[in-house]
Amino acid sequence: MLRGDLASEAPEGVLADAARLRSVARARLGSGGDPAFDRIAGIVERLVDVPVALVTVLSADLQHLPGQVGLPEPAATRREMPLTHSFSRYVVESGRPVVVPDVRLDPRLRDNLAIRDLGVIAFAGVPLTDSDGLVLGTLAVMDREPRKWTKSELVLLDELGEVCSSELRLRISREIADEARRAAESAHSQLALLGELTEALTATMDIDEALHRLGGMVAGRLSDWCFITVADPSGAIRHVSAAHHDPARAETAGRLAELAHAAKLDVRSLIRSVRHTGRLVTQDETDVDRLRDRLDAAQLADLADQLGLGSFLTVPIVSPVNQRVLGAVLLVNGPDRPAFTDAEQSTAAEVGRRAGLAVDNTRVFGRQRHVAEVLQHSMLPELPQVDGIDLHGRYLPAQDGASVGGDWYDAFAQPDGSLMLAVGDVSGHDIEAAATMGQVRNLVRGDAYGRDDAPGPLLAQLDRALHGLRVPAAATAVLARLRRDHDDYLVSFANAGHPPPVLLRPDGEVEIWWEDPEPLLGLLPRDRRATHHRRIAPGSTLLLYTDGLVEHPAHLIDDGISRIRSVLTGNADLPADELCTRLIDAAPRRADDIAFLVVGVR
């Protein structure tokens, strides 16, 4: 039992920083475990092979544990512990990773009560930060014996720590959005516009699409027309667009945006006009001449006059997390429309905040997707060089959302000269699926290498291993062995619920290797799985692929396989690289990952 004082005196300094504690509160983690952070802790525990993995968030006087694997009771249930038992506080206070092979030898850590009460000897933790860089907690691993942490373990910890940080930032952003929404509910006349605007902005993670939607909704309901610009963190102009409520003037608005994008200095001046205060800049008819003069320098005044120049309002696009000005919305009324009312100005300010939330979310999404893609690609193999075999692999993440997941391919040479080929798809489209995919791929390699078993028994053994080792995977896969046999090649393969292999023969004809379906891996283990055999001639090309290459929500999988047949038929003389390109070009818009192997035999 932990014997520290849960009500210990609140520390001064970093832990008690008001801005940091505000972000901790906005994360709204509650007092219990959190499924998302428990999953990440589980991934870390498996991949780093440690007895204890933690996701921590520190308040002023407690260490909260939204994610954990391996802690003893009562901490495992209570999900909090006093700072007297926290190594993570040193990460928060320093703002840097803390990596210690033996905490008993570290002057900072050797008196920590976790050594006595939890048996902690080795510790490594990386910071979890909000969008302003404030450290809220850690992703940490602990061992109960001295341990020299490897570079690869620390890189993985850092990458997954960024995933945790992204999750915290998204939650904080959502809470800030909720705060803003609650504040806006008192102005009933504004609610319809703001509600529709929020829905439109959160329906896409494409920043340009989001801001085009914003312009289309604001023009006509809050002003006659609007002009929007956003800069990236370096200050370079990232987006420029304009919208008018009158469809007849849409082309003029588009031309204004194009010319303004070319006149970068004038666009930046619009952002600078609100960056100093972070508040609305209101102007009326007396200021229009000054706006016209500024636009005239960029040859934009004539276009602006065509759109209508009366009163205007410059609205900052503000990050709700760190209050930085990311861009500006210029709302303009023509001469026949009254100046902006106080209620319209209040709504305009809220539009800027919600646009800032959308911009922040797209950037967080981009970072999270990048981390997932790095993890996915790090687990894909370097294909072997084999005499007589032209081997090419491709992996493409889904185009929509953060759907980097469990698709994979593999190929490795056996000591007897044969070549093992595998393509599979672990269910799920998140970083957990990508990590599980790595485990499945390694099990295939470890079990098959050096053995001459047929692919059917090898898949059956993989199924038993997934169950016996409690790997949480449901997966489809094709496993094949390719070997030279005199002038031809022999292919033996097994299929667990996966799309059929496809063969392009030397004469340009295409074979689809349909067989009786067998269930997925990881469901109910089977004692036997069938092995199928084919003889292929030199000059043939074998294609193994995941369902992302052929599936479309509106069509049967047979239609997708027919599309592959059409791409390959008559193209036996094309280089494998060109075949890969044509297959990708013919695939539907990718709502799922795509992985495939193209194997040419000579």
Hey, what CATH topology would domain 14-174 get? Answer: Beta-Lactamase (3.30.450)
For residue 104, give the amino acid letter: R
pLDDT, residue 186, reads 40
536 forms bridges with which residues in the sheet?
Answer: 489
SS3 assignment, position 507: coil
CA 72 to chain centre: 32
Where exactly are the structural domains of the chain? 14-174, 187-368, 379-601
Distances in Å between the Cα of 56 and the Cα atoms of 126, 302, 351, 466 are 10, 58, 34, 30
pTM above 0.75, yes or no: no
pLDDT < 50 regions, the chain: 1-11, 186-187, 189, 265, 284-286, 401-402
Tokens of 502: 């496809």
pLDDT, residue 375, reads 52
CA torsion sign, 209 to 215 to 221 to 224?
Answer: negative
The rounded distance, in Å, linking the Cα atoms of 171 and 149 is: 31
Q: What angle do CA 549, 552, 553 make, to 5 degrees?
A: 150
* Topology agreement, domain 14-174 and domain 379-601: no
- Residue written as token pair 């994008």: 261
pLDDT, residue 297, reads 52
Assign domain 187-368 to a CATH class: alpha beta
409 forms bridges with which residues in the sheet?
Answer: 423
CB–CB of 356/177 below 8 Å?
no
pLDDT, residue 191, reads 56
pLDDT, residue 12, reads 55
423 forms bridges with which residues in the sheet?
Answer: 409, 478
Kindly give the interhelix angle for 151-184 and 342-378, rounded to the nearest 10 degrees: 160
CA torsion sign, 482 to 483 to 485 to 486?
Answer: positive
pLDDT, residue 5, reads 37
CA torsion sign, 152 to 158 to 163 to 167?
Answer: positive
Which phi and psi angles does 586 have, rounded to 5°?
-85, -10
For the beta carbon of residue 481, count every other beta carbon within 10 angstroms.
23
Residues near 265 by Cβ (< 8 Å), separated by ≥ 6? none
Query: What are the residue ranges of helices labelled H in 379-427?
Result: none
pLDDT, residue 548, reads 87
pLDDT, residue 388, reads 92
pLDDT, residue 3, reads 37
CATH fourth-level superfamily of 379-601? PPM-type phosphatase domain (3.60.40.10)
**Which of 545, 166, 592 is closest to 403 using CA atoms?**
592
Residues near 530 by Cβ (< 8 Å), separated by ≥ 6? 456, 494, 515, 516, 518
pLDDT, residue 276, reads 59
The rounded distance, in Å, linking the Cα atoms of 263 and 294 is: 11
